[in-house]
Amino acid sequence: MIAARATFSEIYDLGSLSLQWRTRYVGKVTDSANGIDFLAIMNGGSVATIGSYLYHDLAAGYGFSKKVSLIVSIQNVFDKPAPLLYDAGGQDGTDNALYDVVGRYFRLTLTGKF
């Protein structure tokens, strides 16, 4: 079903401050279950193909000390919706192992070491 997946990441460390940009790649997908595309059969035989997808994530972290740090991150920065895959088998109409079904979301992480 899937051609390829990859993750690319760039991290800038500026002392106490760090910045990260991550790009997640999902290759071209053919919408079929067990080699049979039921949607294609209903639509006259054309096989639904989803082109490659890129998701972008951004994170910034700050170390207040050796024991306390804070990270703010945004997953799916551009709020790219997941493609519709009829034969994915999930209730959300896509393959949630490959695509972000939530859309853009934010995370705040405070870490303390004791």
Question: What separation in angstroms does the CA of 92 have from each of 6, 43, 85?
Answer: 23, 21, 9
Element at 7 (helix H, strand E): strand 5-14
pTM: 0.78
pLDDT at 49: 75
Q: How confident is the model at residue 83 (pLDDT cuts 50, 70, 90)?
A: confident
- Residue 7 pLDDT: 95
Position 16 scores a pLDDT of 95
Residue 106 has pLDDT above 60, yes or no: yes
Instruction: Please report the pLDDT score of residue 96 as a whole number.
Output: 77
Residue 95 to residues 24, 26, 57: CA-CA distances in angstroms?
Answer: 15, 11, 19
Residue tagged 């002392």 (tokens) = 15
Binned at pLDDT 50, 70 and 90, residue 91 comes out as: low
